[in-house]
């Protein structure tokens, strides 16, 4: 059953989605068990550049970890926080938690202790599990809530508690909550988004159809696992298909190119900035990338000419799509679309997502320009505890995106702007308010204003204008060292610091960020704009 109180799905919707074949009874955990039976020796995950885990080994590891967690008292509807870098191990851990009937609370690998502690306070998990790299930080973040913080080493939790068997009827069902992850909040703190598996099963089916994916494909997903794009490319789709996935512990363009050649990768999944970095790196010409068949990308505008060059270099077809962690897929391109549509738009609207354009709470039209909202089988259950329900939903229950889009007469979508105060760096939404709150902690800073500055590679970077407390001084390295020491996430660190005597303000007294954006664009010049 769909969770009670869901603002996006009721029982009638769920029945309709099942009847249409968009939702299924197949869970990730059962797909792992199926794969272990069907292809026991086939590689499920490669940990680049050395380790590998077969489907049989993956299934056994997930069961063993689940039994350890059950021995620790983890049971149905509990929450288990996971703070772990990308590797095969995080996927085995996710499935283990699912087999306990519990819910994964995903914390981004790059999070600082302040962000992690906020997520823990918001979700109240039973315990926290990290990798060795984040062990100390996990203990710090968990301390205020007196949460146990354990470490996963070599596919085993560091506990002496005897394991306990977990019956299959305890495993999480397809319509139950299996994941809570976070998304950037305009109020400065991350918001927690609630997910069922069936929303990602639907997304998986669209990806399979758009890219003609099969179990024979080899995936290279470059997006961190806990987040929306990362979940379906690293976890759900490879597992549902029974395909092989290659995992990089840390993305570099050179490592990605080497992995493509070494493993014969056929499906590359990355945000636009990562793709641009790969295209610009000499490694893309030093390595044979012609095994690539499909590239899924999104998150921001992709420059047309370099994208064409990459397709011609590799023979791959680039497919862009549009959506969010909260809404799921609103539009997508397919192998059947023209190059112009694939590279210059985010694809056609998905009919079953019932996308509408709004001006405020006023329904504009099915075509034209406005803020998109949707209701359909890919949507999440919204924010945990109904936080900011009125911001996420229209009055009649349609889930909003934070962008301004244009829909043409053929149903193709283009993103033309956004409504929220975000800096989109490499496809990642960074809350300007969160940056400002962090910078304002420094005793030398009186007022801070964070804005996006143009960057030809990342699209935007974090620029902060500050007014200083009288007689104080500060520079960028000192500020960032101060913030890191206080557990601020690396993604919130300013990349340019501008000290001014007085920030420009509107007639109402608000900081005139539009003016600051004009200033930084003029100062940097057109060569810093992504084209």
**Per-residue tokens: 74:** 């983890």
pLDDT of residue 531: 66
Task: Provide, rounded to the nearest whole percent, the portion of the chain with pLDDT above 70.
Answer: 95
Across all residues in the chain, what is the average pLDDT?
A: 91
Of the two residues 417 and 509, the one the predictor is more confident about is: 417
Q: What average pLDDT does range 67-72 have in this prediction?
A: 98
pLDDT of residue 187: 55
User: How confident is residue 502, by pLDDT bands cut at 50, 70 and 90?
Assistant: confident
pLDDT digits (tens, 9 = 90+) for 231-278: 999 999 999 999 999 999 999 999 999 999 999 999 999 988 788 889
User: How confident is residue 2, by pLDDT bands cut at 50, 70 and 90?
Assistant: very low
- Architecture per CATH, domain 28-37+49-157+166-172, reads as 3-Layer(aba) Sandwich (3.40)
Task: Provide, rounded to the nearest whole percent, the portion of the chain with pLDDT above 90.
Answer: 71
Query: Residue 415, Cβ neighbours under 10 Å: how many?
Result: 18
Q: Which of 221-225, 234-238, 420-424 has the highest mean pLDDT?
A: 234-238
Q: How many CA atoms lie within 13 A of 88 on its CB side?
A: 24
- Residue 20 CB burial class (10 angstroms; 0-12, 13-18, ≥19): exposed
Q: How many CA atoms lie within 13 A of 512 on its CB side?
A: 13
Q: Which of 96-110, 302-316, 500-514 has the highest mean pLDDT?
A: 96-110
Q: What average pLDDT does range 388-412 have in this prediction?
A: 85
* Residue 200 confidence (pLDDT) above 50: yes
Of the two residues 47 and 418, the one the predictor is more confident about is: 47
Task: Provide the CATH number for the domain formed by 423-528 in this structure.
Answer: 3.30.300.30
Q: In whole angstroms, what is the distance from residue 61 CA to residue 351 CA?
A: 40
* Residue 290 confidence (pLDDT) above 60: yes
* Residue 4 confidence (pLDDT) above 70: no
Total-model pTM: 0.86
pLDDT of residue 360: 67
Q: In whole angstroms, what is the distance from residue 275 CA to residue 310 CA?
A: 9
User: How confident is residue 433, by pLDDT bands cut at 50, 70 and 90?
Assistant: confident
Residues with Cβ within 8 Å of 215's Cβ and at least 6 positions away in sequence, in order, are 39, 241, 242, 243
- Packing angle of the helix pair 55-71, 88-99 (nearest 10 deg): 50
Helix/strand/coil for 314: helix
* Residue 3 confidence (pLDDT) above 80: no
* Residue 366 confidence (pLDDT) above 70: no
Nearest in space to 322 (alpha carbons), one of 252, 201, 390, 418: 418
- The full set of domain ranges for the chain reads 28-37+49-157+166-172, 423-528
Q: What average pLDDT does range 355-369 have in this prediction?
A: 75
Strands in 100-189 per DSSP E: 103-107, 127-130, 149-153, 156-157, 177-183
Q: In whole angstroms, what is the distance from residue 139 CA to residue 348 CA?
A: 46
* Residue 64 confidence (pLDDT) above 60: yes
* Residue 230 confidence (pLDDT) above 80: yes
* Residue 6 confidence (pLDDT) above 60: no
Main-chain dihedrals φ then ψ at residue 436, nearest 5 degrees: -60, -45
pLDDT of residue 8: 66
């Amino acid at each position: 059953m769909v969770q009670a109180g869901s603002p996006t799905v009721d029982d009638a919707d769920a029945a309709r989605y099942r009847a249409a074949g968009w939702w299924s009874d197949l869970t990730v955990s059962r797909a792992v068990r199926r794969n272990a039976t069907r292809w026991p020796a086939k590689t499920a995950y490669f940990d680049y550049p050395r380790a590998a885990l077969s489907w049989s080994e993956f299934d056994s590891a997930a069961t063993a970890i689940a039994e350890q967690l059950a021995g620790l008292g983890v049971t149905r509807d509990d929450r288990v926080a996971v703070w772990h870098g990308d590797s095969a191990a995080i996927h085995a851990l996710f499935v283990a938690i699912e087999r306990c009937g519990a819910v994964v609370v995903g914390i981004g690998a790059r999070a600082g202790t302040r962000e992690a502690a906020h997520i823990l306070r918001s979700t109240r998990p039973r315990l926290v599990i990290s990798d060795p790299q984040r062990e100390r930080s996990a203990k710090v973040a968990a301390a205020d809530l007196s949460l146990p913080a354990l470490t996963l080493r070599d596919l085993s939790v560091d506990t002496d508690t005897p394991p306990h068997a977990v019956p299959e009827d305890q495993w999480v069902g397809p319509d139950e909550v299996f994941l809570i992850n976070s998304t950037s909040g305009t109020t400065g703190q991350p918001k927690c988004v609630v997910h069922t598996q069936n929303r990602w099963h639907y997304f998986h089916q669209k990806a399979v159809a758009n890219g003609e994916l099969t179990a024979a494909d080899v995936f290279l997903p470059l997006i961190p696992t806990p987040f929306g794009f990362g979940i379906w490319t690293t976890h759900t789709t490879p597992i549902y298909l029974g395909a092989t996935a290659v995992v990089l512990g840390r993305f570099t363009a050179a490592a990605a190119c080497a992995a493509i050649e070494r493993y014969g990768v056929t499906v590359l999944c990355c945000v636009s900035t990562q793709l641009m970095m790969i295209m610009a790196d000499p490694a893309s010409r030093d390595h044979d990338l012609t095994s690539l068949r499909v590239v899924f990308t999104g998150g921001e505008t992709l420059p047309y000419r370099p994208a064409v060059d990459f397709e011609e270099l590799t023979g791959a077809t680039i497919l862009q799509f549009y959506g969010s962690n909260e809404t799921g897929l609103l539009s997508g391109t397919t192998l059947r679309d023209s190059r112009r549509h694939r590279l210059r738009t985010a694809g056609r609207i998905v009919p079953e997502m019932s996308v509408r354009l709004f001006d405020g709470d006023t329904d504009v039209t099915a075509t034209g320009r406005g803020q998109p909202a949707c209701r359909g089988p890919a949507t999440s259950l919204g924010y945990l505890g109904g936080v900011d329900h009125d911001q996420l939903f229209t009055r009649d229950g349609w889930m909003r995106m934070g962008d301004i889009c244009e829909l043409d007469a053929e149903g193709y979508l283009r993103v033309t702007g956004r409504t929220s105060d975000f800096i989109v760096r490499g496809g990642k939404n960074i809350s300007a308010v969160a940056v400002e709150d962090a910078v304002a902690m420094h005793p030398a800073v009186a007022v801070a204003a964070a804005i996006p500055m143009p960057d030809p590679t990342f699209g935007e970077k974090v620029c902060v204008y500050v007014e200083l407390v009288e007689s104080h001084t500060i520079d960028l390295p000192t500020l960032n060292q101060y913030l890191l020491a206080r557990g601020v996430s690396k993604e919130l660190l300013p990349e340019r610091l501008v000290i001014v005597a007085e920030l420009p303000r509107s007639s109402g007294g608000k900081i005139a960020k539009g003016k600051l954006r004009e200033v930084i664009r003029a100062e940097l010049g057109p060569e810093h704009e992504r084209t």
